[in-house]
Amino acid sequence: MASPKDPGAAERVVDETMTDLSVGMVALRQWFSRQSRLLPERLRWRFIGRPIGTAMSTALTVAIPLMAVNAQVAFNTFPDPLTDLSLAGRQPNILILAKDGTELGSRGSDLGDPVDIDTLPPYVVEAFLATEDRNFFEHPGFDPFALLRATLRNWTAGTVVQGGSTITQQLAKNLFLTGDQTIERKFEELHLSLWLEARLTKKEILELYLNRIYLGANTFGLSAASQAYFSKPAEELTLSEAALLAGLPKAPSTLAPHVNLDGAIKRSHEVIGNLLETQKITGLTARLAMMEPPTLALRDERDGYGYFLDHVAAELALRAGDANTDLVVTTTLDPVAQRHAEAAVKAVVETDAAKARGATQAALIAYDRRGGIAAMVGGQSYRLSQFNRTTQAKRQPGSAFKPFVYLAAMEAGFDQDTVLVDQPVQVDGWSPKNYRETFLGAHRLREAFARSSNTATVQISEAIGRERIIDAAQQVGINALLEPYPTLPLGVFETSLHDLTAAYMPFAYEGHSPKPHAIASISTRGGQMLYERQIDVAPRVISVRSAEKMTDLLLAVTTSGTGRSARIPGHEVAGKTGTTDDWRDAWFIGYSAHLTAGVWVGNDDSEPMDRVSGATFPAQIWSNFMGQTHVEEDLEPLSLDHGYFAPDKELYSLKSTYDALRDDLMLRAYGAREYSTRRNDSIGGILRRQMDQGPYVPESPVQGRVVRPREDRDSGTNN
């Protein structure tokens, strides 16, 4: 027993026992006095006095140690008289709400509102009494005849076919004891039953029993079970529904109607038979109830909520792990975003196209501007698999890691328009390959990033140093173990979708890094606030300018690069695709001005897919989710452009000036053989492709400065 002990319990038991013994002695003495007058004086002592004296002496000798043993048992068994019986012997209930107050579900004990037996239909209470304890209102807490009857039936059957516990005994077991089938536990159960009967009325015992009895599906009490199985309050139960619930205490997990409806209905017929046998209903009523079995109306618990509820429970253990009372947890989940996230995943993963290409699983997570989880889909079906692929799965991010390489480059002095040569490269005997095994030649970082060039990324890594990349990744929140291997910039380590997506938030929010979280507040059922998240300015982990440069690069991915299929109408979005070797994992991570979201597609056993890249199913899921959420939430279209000035169109005039430079660069980079096949890919072509992507001008200390071609300078025109 975990309950506190009552220091005076032993003394009270001894006093009560002695009082009862004194009364018995007085009665025995009066009986002896009456009988003795009927015998001659000489025979009284011989035939009555001596045997009675011997018996009394023996009884006292045995009774005194028994009284001591009983007092000790009572002291160890009885709970504190001040114990709150409504909370005894159960886990606290955790009610979990969305950010708008919508009920998402619960964890711990699922308890409904307490029932008052006076408001229930008479057949509801009678069904439990007729089946569990017909002599409830007559016995003192235990029924010796029921115990004897059950013992004989079980001995005859050779197994346990009938229980002899009363409702009071069942309540005592539920409140204070374990399910161990031992003589010691049965002895404690009897003591506790008497303790309950001495302190509560029969009505109070019956109500407490109906509010605490386990009825399957993690429901405790009549009210919770009525809502879970029939979506109605207990006061509205029909006879057949009441009979079904009254039959569950025998084997609640086995007979729970959501897993064994036929067994539950068969058992309900036995309950109806019990009501008929005790003359609580007529034969006609019994037949009608059996002819119209109850129809289940299971409580609507969205499949996708399960992953989030588990995540909230884990976070709650850190916030209020020592709380021992019922709690109400308000979360950051947006029901609209969650609905569209589930729909977007199902609309792709459950299609024949996805199955044909070997993609069986997907996960999605989205954060609001404060880092709160707005949506979480941990897999295709929570009922089939409770493994949360957003937080528990560790996968290689592939090219989705490249933003952190380019972030390190920006902070090392590079900018989006730094020109480098995309060409074969070898590092410590390892040669990275590009997607189509082609090379871009001389081009700007923006284009290399938009096209997800592996060789260009490795060149940047070697130029700035791998330790810089590790520092940059950890700075924005990547907690995975990163080692400075040559393959580091291509995302060969493992991380979770949760962490990878959160690491993109500093790019979206001008360098600020909101801490990912799911809980907004925690309070007791009585309204006492235990925790409330403060709305503070998130710490800045990178400079505003670095965030702006990264947003410019990520915009290039969705406007002209590998992430074009992720665009949504009316809103600017930025992001990055990612695909690992052998097509085992495919990613798209990105953001708008309102949400940051990430998608992973793959298989639990890491089986390769059929050429599923981040630009295919992941970008499609991401676009569907973001597009539908932005429309229904009526989110304002906001630009991700943090103040870049419009391009100077006269930059086109530089083409002729740099043609020769381009030719010389190509010749030196590739040699005569490659030069002959690439000479038409000029700097002018690079600029033209860049202008086709939309307005952009690189950083410049002098905005709007115009550089004239040679003929203008020769004519004396000033800049």
What are the residue numbers of the active site? 132, 399
Instruction: Tell me how far apart the alpha carbons of residues 568 and 575 are, in angstroms, rounded to a whole number.
Output: 12
Contact 189, 165 (CB under 8 A): yes
Contact 601, 583 (CB under 8 A): no
SS3 sequence of 489-519: HHCCCCECHHHHHHCCHHHHCCCECCCCECE
Q: State phi, psi for 189 to the nearest 5 degrees.
A: -60, -40
Instruction: Tell me how far apart the alpha carbons of residues 123 and 268 are, in angstroms, rounded to a whole number.
Output: 13
Q: For residue 328, give the 3-state DSSP assignment.
A: strand
Length of the chain: 719
Nearest to 133 by CA among 160, 167, 172, 170: 167
| Token pair for 63 | 């009774």
Dihedral, 322, 324, 326, 331 alpha carbons, nearest 10: 0
Supply the DSSP symbol for 189: H
Distances (CA, A) of 72 to 20, 60, 221, 314: 18, 18, 33, 42
Contact 191, 78 (CB under 8 A): yes
Nearest to 106 by CA among 312, 378, 318: 312
Distances (CA, A) of 568 to 154, 173, 502, 558, 578: 70, 59, 21, 10, 19
Contact 264, 257 (CB under 8 A): yes
Apex 229 CA angle, 227 and 232, nearest 5: 35
Contact 476, 506 (CB under 8 A): yes
Instruction: Tell me how far apart the alpha carbons of residues 622 and 361 are, in angstroms, rounded to a whole number.
Output: 15
Contact 240, 212 (CB under 8 A): no
Distances (CA, A) of 665 to 142, 525, 660: 98, 72, 9
Bridge partner residues of 366 (DSSP): 375, 597
At 505, the amino acid letter reads M
